[in-house]
Amino acid sequence: MAAGQSACPTGRSVRIFEKSEGHVRPSLAIGITPPSLEILRTLGLDVELIQQGVFIDRVMVHGQTGLLGVCDFSKLEGAYRFVLSIPQHVVMKVLHQNLLKYPGASISYGTEVKALTQDASQVTVTVSGAQDDVVTCRHMVACDGSRGRIREMLHIRSHGGSYGCHFIMADIPDTRAWTGRRTCFSPQMARWSRFLSLET
């Protein structure tokens, strides 16, 4: 959605196809990193998102023997010296509302890109959703994620792999008595080895 709307101020007509049914998604990240905040600034959305998130400028990692290390983002160069922790659905909502400001932009949820062909002048995209459709456009940007099939359709080689470990992420309110912002990595929590606070 961010890539789509970065083209909108130039007056281009943009259509976004998303196979999931809506923009309410579970979180896919601990936080928005400084380079991503720079991109969101170009869309005029950084301030709004920062107001709704929790900024993490220092991460302390504790092991069974005590403090293992500290990662201090406040020493970074640039405008954003923190990682912004914010639920994915909030980011998606802000991006969606911003997209609606542009008359030439639209997003179709529940619509999957099934096939595409291209020649020197245009791309022809077959989508299936509520109704199957064939759309032509000058340029197409595929942002279908690591499991997306579009690079396969385009015969682009990829060298993907697996880290061999699994993560479970959840957005939960922090009801403990701690104050301040924090991200906690805890080996004592065995399989549930990461806990992220979103509320102070």
Ligand X SMILES: Cc1cc2nc3c(=O)[nH]c(=O)nc-3n(C[C@H](O)[C@H](O)[C@H](O)COP(=O)(O)OP(=O)(O)OC[C@H]3O[C@@H](n4cnc5c(N)ncnc54)[C@H](O)[C@@H]3O)c2cc1C
Footprint of ligand X on 101-130 (CB under 6 A): 112-113
Footprint of ligand X on 149-178 (CB under 6 A): 149, 167, 169
Taking CB atoms, the residue at the shortest distance from ligand X is 145
Token pair 């896919």 in the structure block, residue? 28
Least distance CB 124 / ligand X (angstroms): 15
Q: Does 30 bind ligand X (CB under 6 A)?
A: yes
Q: Does 55 bind ligand X (CB under 6 A)?
A: no
Choose one: 7-15, 38-46, 47-55, 143-151; the region binding ligand X (CB under 6 A).
143-151
Q: Does 42 bind ligand X (CB under 6 A)?
A: no
Q: Does 4 bind ligand X (CB under 6 A)?
A: no
**Which one among 12, 15, 29, 186 touches ligand X, defined by CB under 6 A?**
29
**Which one among 143, 154, 170, 172 touches ligand X, defined by CB under 6 A?**
143
In contact, 54 and 198? CB cutoff 8 Å: yes
Q: CA neighbours within 13 Å on the CB side: how many for 178?
A: 13
- One DSSP character per residue, 46-107 reads HHHHHHHSEEE-EEEEEETTEEEEEEEGGG-SSS--SEEE--HHHHHHHHHHHHTT-TTEEE
β-pairing, 194-196 vs 183-185, is antiparallel
Give the integer Cα–Cα distance in Å for 62 and 187. Answer: 8
Q: Is the dihedral of CA 87, 90, 94, 99 positive or negative?
A: positive
**Which one among 7, 12, 15, 19 touches ligand X, defined by CB under 6 A?**
19
> Would you say how long the chain is, in residues?
200
**Which one among 9, 22, 63, 148 touches ligand X, defined by CB under 6 A?**
148
Residues that bind ligand X in the complex, under the rule CB under 6 A: 17-20, 28-31, 33, 36, 112-113, 143-145, 148-149, 167, 169
